Structure 1
Amino acid sequence: MALITNLPTDLLRTFITVVELGGHSKAGAALGRSQPAISLQIRRLEELVRTQLLVQDGRTIQPTPAGEALLSYAREMVRINDEAVSYFHRSDRSGVLRIGLPTDYAVAFLQSTLTKFMQDHPSVELEIHCDVSRELHKHLRAEDLDIIVATMSEPRMPYLSRAWTEQPLWAASEAYRPDPDRPIPLGAHLEGCDYRARMIGALDSVERRWRIVYTGPGISGLQNAVLNGLCVTALTHATLLPGMRELPEEEGFPRLEPLRIGLFYKHPRLSVAGLQLVSELVAGIESVGSGVRKLPQ
């Protein structure tokens, strides 16, 4: 029977940190180790997996294809390790966590998880910032946010922990009947919203006229506009309310392109409380029904 190779979590943590911070020196500063020590750990990890994991790209370090593959496993292994350790260090769960959520749906989607976390950890203060996904990614890179849920413009992106697909659907009031001689009245979030772009792209693809009749930053305002018959919009199963109906292709509403959604955080920067919240968010994501499925990492 062949011996199973064990990948030490300290090596995996170093690997994640080098990738996220873009270099051995920055990783060493974050982890409290010298640059030679960081390089030695990376070499040891490469020996264990028998392949090169990192490559120099200009002034930064980038993962090789094999490194990209290992990164997903490494994040999950280190997260589970830290979740286990944090169970025995519950007194360390304190401070402020800044959470970024997309304007369109994530508050409703993850509200129960966030509420339960606040009840279970009263010493941790949550600050929730809602914006379009591209702005959330900017805030995470600038370290203005600790954890974000946001749409993904590419299959693989920095700081990704979990990814899944979301299928948008056309929603209108139950009484709405489309008039083929008039433009579709659209309700949408502000410019830059992925749902807005998908609605316009889908209608343009079938040469169906449209006009924006409602624009607003919040999901509740958009839902009310739909319920009142003012507009049609793109929602998810989680945000479709009683009194609404899904509009099918037979009524002139082409299928909307699915969205890739991700949970992102900078592992080396996250506190014990932050790691615990990530674990609870992951559990919440995986408990959602068939409208959401986990993507292969």
Structure 2
Amino acid sequence: MALLTNLPTDLLRTFIAVVELGGHSKAGAVLGRSQPAISLQIRRLEDLVRSPLLSQEGRAISPTPAGEALLSYAREMMRINDEAVRYFHRAEMSAVLRIGLPTDYAVAFLQNTLTTFRRNHLEVDLEIYCDLSRELHQHLRSDDLDIIVATMPTARMPYLSRAWVEQPIWAAAETLDLPDTRPVPLGAHLEGCDYRSRMIEALDGAERRWRIIYTGPGISGLQNAVLNGFCVTALTHATMLSGMRELREDEGFPKLEPLRIGLFYKHPRLSAAGLQLVSDLVASLESVGSGVQTVTG
């Protein structure tokens, strides 16, 4: 029986840092190693997996196809490793964590996870920032946020930890009457919202007239506008309220395109408390029932 190759965690951590921070020098500064030491570790890892892991064009460093494949495994292996270490170093956790969420996730199941985390870790201060996904991605790139949940315009993105599929649904008040002869009254978040674009694309594809009569950044205001019969909108199962009903295709509301949602963070920059919260969020995502389906990132 052939012996299995072990991938040392220090090499995996270095590889993740080089990819996510964009270079050997930046990775070395975070990990406390020289640039030659970082380069040596990458070469050792390439020898172990028998594939080149990084390519460089000018000053830009990016993972090769083999590097992309290893990155997914490496992030998960480091998350489990760090979770085990945190268990034995629980007393050392203290930090401020800046979390970015789309509005609907801030008031749905992730809110419970954050509340529980705060209750169990009084030494950690949480700062929650709600915005459009495109803004959250930018804030993560510029290190203004530590962890984000956001929609994914492409299947593969930097800093991705977990991805899953969310199926938006049409929502209206149970008592709302929608004559076919009138434009559909839409409620939506601000321009740039993925739910907004999916509603418009679906209605245009069905050649059904529409007009936006309510626009606002918050989910509560949108829910109230729907409950009061002022408009219809796209929600998730988690944000449907009593008094609402789902509009069907036979009523002239075509199925909305699903959304790919991701959990993102920069592993080398995250504190022990942040890594614990990531594990809690992953557990929360994996426990969600119908409507959310975990997929590989």
TM-score, normalising length from structure 1?
A: 0.98
Task: State the shift of 1:296 in Å.
Answer: 1.9
Task: State the shift of 1:111 in Å.
Answer: 1.0
Alignment gaps of 5+ in structure 1: none
What code does the residue aligned with 1:29 have? A
Paired residues of 2:105 and 2:111 also in contact (CA < 8 A): no
Q: Deviations over 1:13-43 (max 9, x none)?
A: 0000000011111111111101111111111
Q: Which residue of the partner structure matches residue 18 of structure 1?
A: 18
Paired residues of 2:140 and 2:146 also in contact (CA < 8 A): yes
Alignment gaps of 5+ in structure 2: none
SS of the residue corresponding to residue 238 of structure 2 reads: coil
SS of the residue corresponding to residue 256 of structure 1 reads: coil
Paired residues of 1:202 and 1:255 also in contact (CA < 8 A): yes
Separation in 2, partners of 1:287, 1:226: 28
RMSD over equivalenced CA pairs, Å = 0.9
SS of the residue corresponding to residue 26 of structure 1 reads: helix
Task: State the shift of 1:172 in Å.
Answer: 0.4
Question: Cα–Cα, structure 1 residues 107 and 57, in superposed 2: closer, same or farther, change >3 Å?
Answer: farther
Q: Which residue of the partner structure matches residue 82 of structure 1?
A: 82
Separation in 2, partners of 1:240, 1:61: 44
Task: State the shift of 1:177 in Å.
Answer: 2.7
Q: Which residue of the partner structure matches residue 9 of structure 1?
A: 9
SS of the residue corresponding to residue 149 of structure 1 reads: strand
TM-score, normalising length from structure 2?
A: 0.98
Q: Deviations over 1:139-198 (max 9, x none)?
A: 111111000000001101011001000000000011123211100000001111100010
1:1-297 residue pairs with structure 2 within 5 A?
Answer: 1-297=1-297
Paired residues of 1:101 and 1:136 also in contact (CA < 8 A): yes
Separation in 2, partners of 1:261, 1:242: 25
SS of the residue corresponding to residue 260 of structure 1 reads: strand
What code does the residue aligned with 2:69 have? A
Q: Deviations over 1:252-287 (max 9, x none)?
A: 101101000000001111000000000000000100
Q: Deviations over 1:61-104 (max 9, x none)?
A: 10011111111110000011011101111122112100000123
Paired residues of 1:166 and 1:260 also in contact (CA < 8 A): yes
Greater alpha carbon shift after TM alignment, 21-30 vs 121-130 = 21-30
